[in-house]
Structure 1
Amino acid sequence: MQDTWLSSVMLLVHTALADRGLDADGIAASAGIDPALLRDPNTRIPLVPAAQFWEAAVRAVDGDPCFGLDVAERLNPTTLHAVGFAWLASASLREAGRRLVRYFRIVSSVDEVEIRAEAGRTWLVFNTEDGFTLPRSYDARMASLVRLCRAIAGPDFKPAAVRLRHPRNAAADRMRALYGVEPEFGASEYAIAIDDEELDRPLPSGNAELALSAENIASEYLARHAKDDILARARRALIELLPSGGVSRGVIAQKLLLSERTLQRRLADQGFTFASLLESLRQELAYDYLRTGTHSINEIAYLLGFAEIASFTRAFRRWSGVAPSTWRDAQFGGVAA
């Protein structure tokens, strides 16, 4: 997929400009973006005009260090396409974070979100690309992530720590008020830490069935638009073929019109083998199916492509340490669904 941004995300920049009484359409057009395209949620904005639009927007507000925070204030989770819906339906912040990492390429193919564990806390890190490190744009990302967390964890949520690459500036007080903690300016990365206790707290808004539906849409979107994203395409093929049973590297390679060797090499470039991708996908789907409470253990074993329930049970014990029925019952307060 060509490096692009989701149009609805770039529309936030346009709206922040318009709300200041500036000629947002003219500024977008000067960057090579047809303003009408920003209002089409199915459009993607190429990297170069997107970067130019950010640069022009920052110039138009005279470099106001608060502009990125203004952009983030206009974010609604549904701005992020299926990623936002999957986020809203997640059972915990940890689950939401994993979905954000998994499908962030829908939002932007410019950079990635990485999860990094430390003692007692977990960091969500924006990996910046050289040449596209405008501080205001990353301020918008960071503030947007906190807004997303508050959308499901409640307005009292605050990160354990915040790291910003740019120096302290006139927005420092507003940032401190926004995050609820003193940011570390001049850091080596843009990152937010969340205490593991907060990250794993069950969320009343969690809905596994809706999350699965949103993930399905996100997976289809990536497989359709990100032709170079072998993980997205292989995951999509596996999800489609798992219930048929007998899924193998050869079958998936044929589905993707690749040789087995090419498939394995391209997966290795992303840090996976076919076996590890299959294992991780089955594990993710198993937890999601069990949370919905709408499938029997036998049905879940079938959906995951296991030949028999005993094989699924052994695999699930390896992932969680307990039988799938025990894990499911715990999600419903000890009452079998």
Structure 2
Amino acid sequence: MTSSPIDSPHASVSASITQAVLHAAQRLGLERSELLAACGLAEQQLSDPDARVPFAVQEHLWQLLGSRLPPPEPGLALGRHLAPGPFSVLGYLLQSSATLGDALAAGLRYQRLVGEGGELQLEASASELRLIYRPLHPQLPATRTRILALMAFWVQMMAPLLDEFRLLRADFAHAEPEALAVYAEVFDCPLRFGADDYALVLPASLGSAALIQANPPLQQLLRQHAEALLARLPSEGLVARVVTLLGAQLAHGEPDRAELARTLHLSERTLQRRLAEEGSSYQQLLNDTRRQLAERHLRDGQLPAAEIALLLGYSEPSVFFRAFRHWTGLTPGEYRAQYSQPLS
């Protein structure tokens, strides 16, 4: 099971990434003015690299690019023509970091500066670093174009910064396509399709590898600028962030409140206090998240209730059955039967 980021009607992306996408499209032979007109964008909206563009507008741009560029995989073609510079402060911040681990940490902290069309996450083990991207609207065709462009760009940006850059694997949530040569050329590693997430998997040893363009004085100035820009963005709200993290934790078993608090850079006590200030609690959000996911699985799929219990982090199906009856007054089987009956 994968979690999805919070879908806000106010989601936006930076004007700088929109500029970068348009520049890449121009290099591939598309007319900039036609794309702007079709998306309802004006040049003055893009003149300030720190300005914001509604995510829905840029999503329309990706849709146009996916339909106007030739196959196979317009996203990979676009990603290979994206340049780090137009990404403004975050691109330079990543390149000037001391190590790849520092760059990834900065990417996680400041990802909203680039855009709010998805969530970047990092899973680390003794042998692997797994850089995961979970998009808004994963079902839309434009999303595949967008994610492949981003993944190709990340590889293009990281490779020159490390003497021994390599990928262990690249994961893709979509089914295996017929044309694999372009994937092999871009990622140069084993490919896995039909995966739970879109992800780039790197050796854990690269986390401590020094970056060729490390520049501590510049890094300090860029971080100050990035913090100021982050503070200007509308707050997502702690409740929304906790719900997103709970969804991710549930994919791996019983959620861990202490780990969630650490991810948010809070103590458990502060987490509880701030949730109370927003009229909620950790346990309430966990119960609500589990209930929403359980009802969705029972309505939309054919997974056995015992498997749904495991997906929701319950150690025993019986615990899930009792919780579900408490929430709805029905057993999982009764709930599914109710929603499978044709409407009269």
Post-superposition offset of 1:192:
0.7
Distance 1:35 1:169 in 2: 36
Provide the residue aligned with 1:116 in structure 2: 123
Provide the residue aligned with 1:140 in structure 2: 149
User: Which digits, 9 at most, give the CA deviation of each residue in 1:245-295, with x for residues without a partner?
Assistant: xxxxxxxxxxxxxxx9558756x989xxxxxxxxxxxxxxxxxxxxxxxxx
**Cα 1:212–1:226 shift into 2, 3 Å:** farther
- Counterpart check, 1:218 vs 2:226: yes
Post-superposition offset of 1:118:
2.5
Please, which moves more after superposition, 204-213 or 81-90?
Answer: 204-213
Provide the residue aligned with 2:102 in structure 1: 95
Distance 1:269 1:145 in 2: 37
Post-superposition offset of 1:51:
0.9
Provide the residue aligned with 2:217 in structure 1: 209
- Identify the match of residue 36 of structure 2 among 28, 36, 42: 28
Post-superposition offset of 1:18:
2.2
Number of residue pairs matched by the alignment: 241
Does 1 or 2 have the higher relative contact order (CA < 8 Å, sep 6+)?
Answer: 2
**Cα 1:11–1:139 shift into 2, 3 Å:** same
Q: Which runs of 5+ in 1 are unaligned?
A: 232-259, 271-337
Provide the residue aligned with 1:125 in structure 2: 132
Matching residue's letter, 1:169: P
**Cα 1:197–1:269 shift into 2, 3 Å:** farther
Structure 2 counterpart SS, 1:184: strand
TM-score (norm 2): 0.63
Structure 2 counterpart SS, 1:202: coil
Matching residue's letter, 2:131: L
TM-score (norm 1): 0.64
Task: Verify the 8 A CA contact 1:223 1:229 in the aligned structure 2.
Answer: no
- Identify the match of residue 181 of structure 1 among 184, 189, 197: 189
Matching residue's letter, 2:224: N
Q: Which runs of 5+ in 2 are unaligned?
A: 1-7, 240-271, 283-344
Post-superposition offset of 1:36:
4.5
> What is the aligned-residue RMSD (CA, Å)?
2.9
Distance 1:137 1:126 in 2: 11
Post-superposition offset of 1:193:
1.1
Task: Verify the 8 A CA contact 1:25 1:35 in the aligned structure 2.
Answer: no
Post-superposition offset of 1:13:
2.7
Post-superposition offset of 1:33:
1.8
Please, which moves more after superposition, 106-115 or 65-74?
Answer: 65-74
Post-superposition offset of 1:223:
0.1
Provide the residue aligned with 1:10 in structure 2: 18
Provide the residue aligned with 1:153 in structure 2: 162
